[in-house]
Amino acid sequence: MKILITGGAGFIGSHLAERLLEQGNKVSIIDNLSTGKLSNISHLTNNPNFCYEIDSILNRETLDRMVKDCDIIYHLAAAVGVKYIIENPLLAMQTNINGTDNILEFANKYKKKILITSTSEIYGKSENVPFKEEDDRLLGSTHISRWSYSSAKAIDEFLTLAYHREKKLPVVIVRCFNTVGPRQSGQYGMVLPKFVKNALLGHPITIFGDGKQSRCFADVEDVVSGLIGLMSEKKAEGNIYNIGNTEEITIEELAFKIKKMTNSDSKIEYVPYDDAYEEGFEDMKRRVPDITKIKNTIGYEPKYSLEDILNRVIKYYEA
């Protein structure tokens, strides 16, 4: 099968490309390297079934050609990370809305099945945890730029479902919850790799806010298995799925756990949100997925515990 991955040089995209190649598929990727890296895919470039283009999903001519030449599409390209969204609000909105509009248009033109990756940010600051796919959303003011990401991805979901309902385009939507693992960068605000890297270097481990906010971390290998499983299941078409892990930990507990596992002398420091991001920044206290729906559809069950994940990320950074 010929598969196109947008954002394929990114963290999740590169792992997905790796797995699909192992399964004997031909894989093409497009990435503008805004958050992706060539080093993520350097080990794949000698594979005759792999090719890549450094370009933007805003380039309609390139996208049209690549979609026409594939069988199915995994759309992972997006402006991601709280820090990146706040520092590049206009480009982030254009990429996340116009880019998705482009890929859906061409997927429909050539009738290609497509998976759209969305985000747990969709749920906003709702406290109705664990989050179910049909839950209401609760967002803050448009003056707070972090909510632009949630809104843009919600528009992506509306567009995707509209193509499915009106044009009968086969689509799957996946809301990812804090996917982590080897090759992930902490450069754009991803907390776990940032903590591990700073701990190993002896730099301060910086917690934004009071650290009582909790998250669930899913290993990229589990997430990739879920993405491929959903794309292989006809019953998943036209549906939205949470994908992640349900093992919850506070950010403060995570910092101390990483410090202990790395035998680090790093100090743990606390920085107010306003100083870390922008005035009036809002965060959600808990973010826990209900994964019943994906379990019932494809038998998804995370294999990696948080301890497993941390060991894998620590070994990656040590190397």
Annotated active-site residue in 74, 149, 188, 300:
149
Question: What are the distances in angstroms from CA 181 to CA 190, 210, 218, 260?
Answer: 11, 25, 8, 19
CB atoms within 10 A of CB 146: 23
For residues 8 and 227, give the distance between their C-alpha atoms in angstroms, rounded to a whole number. 14
For residues 57 and 228, give the distance between their C-alpha atoms in angstroms, rounded to a whole number. 22
SS3 state of residue 249: strand
For residues 197 and 206, give the distance between their C-alpha atoms in angstroms, rounded to a whole number. 12
CB atoms within 10 A of CB 173: 24
Q: Is the separation of the CB atoms in 317 and 196 below 8 Å?
A: yes
Q: Is 316 a catalytic residue?
A: no
User: Which of 11, 42, 45, 40 has the alpha carbon at shortest distance from 28?
Assistant: 45
User: What amino acid positions are annotated as catalytic residues?
Assistant: 149
